[in-house]
A and B are shown apart, each in its own frame.
Chain A
Amino acid sequence: MTTAAAPLSVFATPAWYQNRTLRRFMRHRLAVMGTVMIALLIMACVFGPYLLPYDDLKIDIRHRFAAPFTGDHYLGTDALGRDTAARLLNAGRISLLVGFFAMVISTVIGASIGVIAGYYRGWLGAVLMRIVDAFLSFPSVFLVLVLAAFIKPNPIMITVIIAATSWMEIARIVETEIRSLRERDFILAARMIGASSRWIMFRELVPNAIGPIIVAATLTIAHAILLEAYISFLGYGIQPPLPSWGNMLNSAQQYLGKAPWLAIVPGLAITLAVASFNFIGDGLRDALDGRSDLK
C-alpha cells in the first residue's frame, strides 16, 4: 500500500477519486444507480405525503378505481377511492423502516454471535454455529408466518420477527472472517499488551471485518423488505388500513383485471427497492475488496 496522493493531485480529479474504495464503488454503474434510486425513494417517502393533495386514509367512494394519470389522482385510486400515490409513499415509509430496523437488529445479533463463535471456537463456537445451522434449515417464511400468527402484528413486532429470522447469514459471514483474522499477528500483539477478550473481539477484530458486515447488512435490507412484503401479502403482516407494499398487493389481487395498476404500482416499488439494495450490496462488495482493482 502506498500513499502517492500528493503527486497525483496535479491532475484535476474530484476529491472522491482519491479514495480507492469510493472510486471503485463509483465505477460500479448499477450500484450508483441503486444508490440514486434509494435516495429518491427515501426522499419521496419522507416528503411526498406532505406534498400530495390527498391523505392515504381518506375514503372517497365516488372516485373508486380512478385510472392513473387521468384525474388529479396521479396514480389512481383503489377500491375505496383512496389515493394510490399517497398510500404507496406511506406504505414505503413503513416498508423501508421495517427493512432498515430489521437489518440493524439482525446485524447486531448476527455479528455478535459470529464474533463470539469465531473468536472462542471450541465448544462455545460449535454450539453457536449449530444454532445458526438449525435456524437456517428452517424455512424462514413459514417460521415468520407461524410467529406472526401468535403475535399481534404491528410494525414493531413484524420488524422483530423478520430480524429473528434473518441474522444467520451475517453470523456465518462474520464467523468465517473472524476465524481468519484472529490468527493475525496484531491479535497476538494485543494479547501481549494485556488486552481482554472483549476488547480484542469488539475493538480489534470487528473493525477489521466491517467490510463484509456492511455488504451483508445491505443485502439483508433487501431480504427484509421482501420478507415483509410476503407476510403482509399473506395477511399476517402490517394490517390495513395502515398501508404497506405487501398489503397493497394483497388488496389489489381481487381487482387484477379491473384495476391492474393497484398491483403494478406497489409491485414496482418493491422490485425497485430490493433490486437497488442488491446492486448497492454488490457494488460495496467490489469496492471494499482491494483485489477487484486488478480486474
Chain B
Amino acid sequence: MSANITVSDLSVSFRSARGYVPVVHGISFSIRPGETLALVGESGSGKSVTSMAIMKLLAPAPMTRIEGRAVVTDNQGNPVDLVALDEKQLRHIRGNRIAMIFQEPLTSLNPVHTVGDQIAEAIRFHERLSKAEARRRALSLLEQVGIPEPAKRLDTYPHELSGGMRQRVMIAIALAMEPDILIADEPTTALDVTVQAQILGLLRDLQRKKGMAILFITHNFGVVAEIADRVMVMYAGRIVEEGSVLHVLSSPRMPYTRGLLASVPRLEHAGLGQAELGTIPGYVPDPAAPPAGCAFHPRCAHNKPGICDVEPPELVEVRAGHQLRCSRWQELCLEGGVR
C-alpha cells in the first residue's frame, strides 16, 4: 500500500535579526494508512514546528522558509506537495485531506460559537450542504467520538464541557471530512490520566475504522507505547533515532533516546531504592549557535572528544527499519551500554 503522506528532506528556518536560523533539518518520513508514527522529543526539539510546517500554519514566506516536500493525495486522487501549494489551494486540503488536533482543547475552540456550529462549519467549508444536513452530520460525529447525549451537546458552548469532552469535539471537527492524515500535537498532555487513556482509545478505534495515518507528537513514552507503531526521536531539529516501537523502546541505541527513556518515572522502581530519576544534563542547544559535530555531544555521557565534536553523524540503518544518528553506536553496543 502506498503511504498517505510522504515527507522528504523537510527543512524549516525562521528569520531572525542575524539571518535565517534553521530549526528543522532535512526530515524525511512516510506514514501508511492505518499506521501511527510518534514524533518524540524535548521542548524545542522541533517536533511541533515540523507538524506546523506540514500544515503550512507557520508565519508566511519572508518570516519562515520551508524547503523539501510533503506529498499527500488531493480530492481527485492526485499527489500534491503541500510545501509548493498556495494558501487558496491549501484551504481545500486542510481539514479535508489532512487535519490536526492540538494540545489545549479549550483554547482551540472558539468560545462564542456552539459546538454543533463549529463542527457543521468544518464540513461546510468543504462540501455544499444545507445547514440542517450539516447539523445532522455534526450530530453523528459527536456520537462517533463518544459524547453522551450528543443531541443535547450540539447547542452547548465549549466552556460548558469538560477537558476530555472538548478534546472529543476537536477530534470530531478534525475527522469531519475523514482525512487521510491526522496530526495530533500532544492531544492528551492537558488531560487527566484516565481521560488520556479514553482519548487514546478513541483515536485508535477511529483509526481502525477509517484507516487514516496518524502523526502523533508527544514527549510521553507511555503514550508512545500505547498508540504508536513506529517512533521517531527528534533532537535539535534532526531525527536521531527511528524504528518500530518495539525496537526503540526495548533496545534504544542512541544515547539521547536512552536518556529520555531513563527519565520516565516508573512505578516499579519507586519502592526498590531506585527512586533516583534519570535526567539529561544541560539544555537543547540554541538553533542559532549549534555545537560542532553531533548536536547532542555536549550533553552526552558517551561523548568522546575527537570523534563526537568533529563530524556530524549521519542517519544509519542498524537493522531493518531501525535507524539512528550516532558516531559511536557500534562501540556503545559492544560496551554493553545497550540491552
From B102, B112, B173, give the contact of A188 (CB < 8 A): B102
A295 to B164, CA, bound (A): 33
**Which size class do B's interface residues fall under?**
20 to 34
A249 to B100, CA, bound (A): 64
A10 touches B (CB below 8 Å): no
Residues of B with C-beta under 8 A to A189: 100, 102, 108-110, 170, 173
B66 to chain A, nearest CB (A): 16
A167 to B121, CA, bound (A): 32
Is B126 touching A194 in the complex (CB atoms < 8 A)?
A: yes
Closest residue of chain B to A192, judged by CB?
A: B100
A258 touches B (CB below 8 Å): no
CB neighbors of A among B159-190 (8 A):
159-160, 170, 173-174, 176
CB neighbors of B among A180-194 (8 A):
184-186, 188-194
A188 to B104, CA, bound (A): 12
Say yes or no: A186-B108 contact (C-beta < 8 A), given A192-B55, A194-B126. yes
A200 to B101, CA, bound (A): 18
B57 touches A (CB below 8 Å): yes
Residues of A with C-beta under 8 A to B126: 194
A194 to B91, CA, bound (A): 4
Residues of A with C-beta under 8 A to B102: 185, 188-189
Interface mask (A257-274 → B, CB under 8 Å = 1, otherwise 0): 000000000000000000
Closest residue of chain B to A200, judged by CB?
A: B110
Say yes or no: A207-B109 contact (C-beta < 8 A), given A1-B159, A193-B173, A194-B92. no
Say yes or no: A207-B100 contact (C-beta < 8 A), given A186-B107, A192-B95. no
CB neighbors of A among B97-119 (8 A):
99-100, 102, 104, 107-113
Is A208 touching B112 in the complex (CB atoms < 8 A)?
A: yes
CB neighbors of B among A41-91 (8 A):
none
Closest residue of chain A to B156, judged by CB?
A: A3
Residues of A with C-beta under 8 A to B96: 194
A204 touches B (CB below 8 Å): yes
Interface mask (B285-327 → A, CB under 8 Å = 1, otherwise 0): 0000000000000000000000000000000000000000000
Residue pairs across A and B with Cβ atoms less than 8 A apart, 18 shown, are: A3-B160, A185-B104, A185-B107, A185-B108, A186-B107, A186-B111, A188-B108, A189-B102, A189-B170, A192-B95, A194-B92, A194-B122, A194-B125, A195-B91, A195-B125, A196-B91, A207-B110, A210-B112
B residues whose Cβ falls under 8 Å from a Cβ of A: 55, 57, 90-96, 99-100, 102, 104, 107-113, 121-122, 125-126, 159-160, 170, 173-174, 176
Lowest 5 A-B CB distances belong to which pairs?
A193-B95, A194-B95, A185-B107, A189-B108, A207-B112
